[in-house]
Amino acid sequence: MFCYQCQEAAGCKGCTVRGVCGKNESVAKSQDILVYASKGLAIVSNEGRKVGVIDSKVDKYITENLFTTITNANFDRNAILDRVKETLRLREELKVKVEEAGGNVTGDATDWSAVTEAEFDIKAETVGVLATENEDVRSLRELIIYGLKGLSAYMKHAMNLGYNNEDVHGFMAKALAATLDDSLTADELVALAMEAGKYGVDGMALLDQANTGTYGHPEITKVDIGVRNKPGILISGHDLKDLELLLKQTEGTGVEVYTHSEMLAGQYYPEFKKYSHFAGNYGNAWWKQTEEFEKFNGPILMTTNCVVPPKDSYKDKLFTTGASGVPGCKHIDADENGNKDFSEIIEMAKNCKCPTEIETGEIVGGFAHNQVLALADKVVDAVKSGAIKRFFVMAGCDGRAKSRNYYTDFAKAIPNDTVILTAGCAKYKYNKLDLGDIGGIPRVLDAGQCNDSYSLVVIALKLKEVFGLDDVNELPISYNIAWYEQKAVIVLLSLLYLGVKNIHLGPTLPAFLSPNVAKVLVDNFGIAGITNVEDDVKMFMQG
């Protein structure tokens, strides 16, 4: 196997024997072949668009396939291979329609077939990441693919709420197809990666519209991090539709619902606050789940990445849905209307002990664009008066690497007249510190999930307008972003597309950036890594 798609890639180079994430070789092969099958389907879909054939079922399937291969989403080889088989079936079906309309598709990705597991494994060995020999082309192709994986997740969440954008699917098909096109130059691939950033913005805007249109605008909220005295279900991941269904189905059952990791953002939406059995947030970022899930005592529902292969002590209580999957854990599928039946989880919860308290207190969040813009006058005054000297965008991911303590130390070390704007699970490195406020404005403003980085961009663009600046880079905002998985890649490409410069990325730069590709990002966008807290704070404060 060879995988280098996340920040924890072994030795900052790539996992070759077993993933640091827990992915074994046979799961890695099934993911490689699913990505390849998706590229084949994308080629047919892209060709179809040229002759007027668009199949929304295919677009949805490609989106789900990519999401399935995001780090820590799905460890279930059989489920992944089932998706491969269905992808090949859809490809053949679409090929007939495209050829009838005058389209023409040829090539291995659109012609190969396999039936047995052994055949899939043999094929996987020839189509993985290393199949592209030139390291720069490989780097650019993978940068695009990882961006698309992140985008697919955001699109899937929006689609679950009935929102869609055909242009994004068209781009995804085009870009995936391009990753097998040997005629493209490095410059053309760089341009495609930047174009992915444009669609990243569109995808995040669509999801923002879907979430706020369905559940209202996030508002300032104090979230309890302690426990109550009834049994509970812990819901993790990013899918708000799943949270809605679970809250509805648990109403009046005596079972309470707690959020975990990225689902914390659910606490900020007005539509969810009306449920009295919606308890607080339990635990921390995804990577602590093996300690925290067993203390929760009740069942856990994983709606997306980030799953850690479970310990036996709670494996029978772990359920997956959507793109996530763990062999041996029950997976709950949606019916044809998008409904999911969580009754088995609810019945299990009734017989479980109440959660064991691991923390007490409150955290504050809900600072997405609408809420921050409602406070805009206050924020602008604070900047004009010098009460706020600088903003730090510290969005992104958390992870298990010890080097990530940098972000806790950084949050503590920046001057008291600075404010952190955050989104994604990176916040767990500093959202429980007592960093105080500036004239009533908390020093950590949490917009929500990683996709809510979109909110931070909206806020930055608004500030640019208010201050009458020509360039978003003239604002007193520094970007010190922590990344882990592929959603952070699409967030990064989106920021680059919007013209944000001098983003610092840590705790390490992606292993998939070859030296030449990294140089392009450094030269054109001022991308840099991190060094140590003291030097970095000094450097950032100089503007």
* Binding region: 3, 6, 15, 21, 238, 262, 306, 397, 425, 450, 485, 487
Nearer to ligand SF3, 41 or 368 (CB): 368
Q: Is 309 in the site for ligand SF4 (CB under 6 A)?
A: no
Going by C-alpha positions, the residue among 449, 468, 447 that lies closest to residue 458 is: 447
Compute the half-sphere exposure of residue 499: CA atoms within 13 Å on the CB side of its CA.
9
Q: At which residue do the structure tokens 């359920």 appear?
A: 319
Residue from 12, 17, 19, 118 that binds ligand SF4 (CB under 6 A)?
A: 19
What residues between 41 and 80 interact with ligand SF4 by CB under 6 A? 71
Sign of CA dihedral 366, 489, 39, 48: positive
Residue from 286, 293, 406, 497 that binds ligand SF3 (CB under 6 A)?
A: 286
Compute the half-sphere exposure of residue 380: CA atoms within 13 Å on the CB side of its CA.
14
Q: Which element (helix H / strand E) includes 291?
A: helix 289-296
Among ligand SF4, ligand SF3, none, partner that 514 touches (CB below 5 to 8 angstroms by kind): none
Nearest residue to ligand SF4 by CB is 19
Distances (CA, A) of 29 to 16, 81, 122, 152: 11, 10, 9, 20
What is the smallest separation between the CB atom of 204 and ligand SF4, expressed in angstroms?
A: 22
What residues between 480 and 499 interact with ligand SF3 by CB under 6 A? 484-485, 487-488
Q: What is the DSSP string of 473-521?
A: GGSSEEEEEE--SHHHHHHHHHHHHTT---EEEESS--TTS-HHHHHHH
Q: At which residue do the structure tokens 């999957």 appear?
A: 325
Give Cα 232 to chain centroid, integer Å: 26
What residues between 434 and 453 interact with ligand SF3 by CB under 6 A? 449-450
Residue from 297, 305, 422, 478 that binds ligand SF3 (CB under 6 A)?
A: 305
> 238-257 mask for ligand SF3 (x: CB under 6 A)?
x-------------------
Going by C-alpha positions, the residue among 346, 538, 365 that lies closest to residue 448 is: 365
Q: Please, are residues 339 and 331 in contact by the beta-carbon 8 Å criterion?
A: no
Q: Please, are residues 257 and 277 in contact by the beta-carbon 8 Å criterion?
A: yes
Interface stretch with ligand SF4, choices 3-11, 115-123, 303-311, 530-538 (CB under 6 A): 3-11
Among ligand SF4, ligand SF3, none, partner that 449 touches (CB below 5 to 8 angstroms by kind): ligand SF3
Going by C-alpha positions, the residue among 1, 13, 150, 144 that lies closest to residue 508 is: 13
Among ligand SF4, ligand SF3, none, partner that 5 touches (CB below 5 to 8 angstroms by kind): ligand SF4
Nearer to ligand SF3, 484 or 497 (CB): 484
Among ligand SF4, ligand SF3, none, partner that 284 touches (CB below 5 to 8 angstroms by kind): none
Nearer to ligand SF3, 139 or 449 (CB): 449
Going by C-alpha positions, the residue among 354, 254, 351, 240 that lies closest to residue 301 is: 240
Angle at alpha carbon of residue 511, lines to 16 and 81, rounded to 5°: 50
Dig out the tokens for 154 from the structure.
């955001």
> 198-237 mask for ligand SF3 (x: CB under 6 A)?
----------------------------------------
Residue from 3, 109, 124, 180 that binds ligand SF4 (CB under 6 A)?
A: 3
Residue 69 DSSP code:
T
Give the count of residues interacting with ligand SF3 (CB under 6 A): 15
Among ligand SF3, ligand SF4, none, partner that 424 touches (CB below 5 to 8 angstroms by kind): ligand SF3
Q: Please, are residues 333 and 313 in contact by the beta-carbon 8 Å criterion?
A: no
Interface stretch with ligand SF4, choices 6-14, 52-60, 197-205, 263-271 (CB under 6 A): 6-14
Q: Is 489 in the site for ligand SF4 (CB under 6 A)?
A: no
**First and final C-alpha spacing in the chain:** 43
Nearer to ligand SF3, 62 or 423 (CB): 423
Dig out the tokens for 431 from the structure.
């959202």
Among ligand SF4, ligand SF3, none, partner that 141 touches (CB below 5 to 8 angstroms by kind): none
Binding site as annotated, residues for hybrid [4Fe-2O-2S] cluster: 238, 262, 306, 397, 425, 450, 485, 487
Binding site as annotated, residues for [4Fe-4S] cluster: 3, 6, 15, 21
Q: Which residues of 485-499 are buried (b: 16+ CB within 10 A; e: fewer)?
A: bbbbbbbbbbbbbee
What residues between 325 and 344 interact with ligand SF4 by CB under 6 A? none
Interacting residues toward ligand SF4 by CB under 6 A: 3-6, 8-9, 15, 19-21, 23, 71
